[in-house]
Amino acid sequence: MDLRRWHYFAVLAEEMHFTKAAARLFVSQPSLSQQIRAFEADLGVALLDRTGPRFALTEAGRVAAVEARDLLDRLDRARGAITAAGRGDAGRLRIAYTRSAPGPLAGDLVAAYRERYPDVELALETGWTSLNLARLAAGEIDVGFVRPPVTAPDVEVAVVGSEEVLLVVPSGHALARRRGRVRRAAIAAEPVVFWPRENGPGQYDAISGQVWPGGLPPIVREEPEDEQLMRAVAEGAGLAAVPEHRARALRRRGVVLRRLEDPPPRIDLGLAWRAGSASPVVRAFVDLAARRSRSAGG
pLDDT tens-digit map of 25-62: 899 999 999 999 999 999 999 999 988 888 999 999 99
Cis ω before 263 (30° cut-off from 0): yes
CATH architecture of 3-87: Orthogonal Bundle (1.10)
Confidence of residue 241 (pLDDT cuts 50, 70, 90): very high
Name 4's Cβ contacts closer than 8 Å, sequence gap at least 6. 35
Confidence of residue 64 (pLDDT cuts 50, 70, 90): very high
What's the full length of the chain, in residues? 298
Q: Would you state the pLDDT for residue 60?
A: 93
Kindly report, residue by residue over 67-88, the tens digit of the pLDDT: 999 988 888 777 766 766 666 6
SS3 137: helix
Using CA atoms, how far apart are residues 121 and 91, in angstroms rounded to an integer? 6
Radius of gyration for the alpha carbons in the chain, expressed in angstroms and rounded: 32
Kindly report, residue by residue over 92-139, the tens digit of the pLDDT: 889 998 876 656 778 888 898 888 888 888 899 888 888 899 999 888
Using CA atoms, how far apart are residues 162 and 212, in angstroms rounded to an integer? 19
Instruction: Supply the CATH classification number for the domain 91-298.
Output: 3.40.190.290
Q: Would you state the pLDDT for residue 188?
A: 93
Mean pLDDT score across all residues of the chain: 88
DSSP 35: H
Q: Where are the domains of the chain?
A: 3-87, 91-298
- Sign of the dihedral defined by the CA atoms of residues 55, 59, 60, 61, in that order: positive
Res 298 pLDDT > 60: no
pTM of the predicted model as reported, rounded to 2 decimal places:
0.63
- In which element (H, E) is residue 167 found? strand 155-170
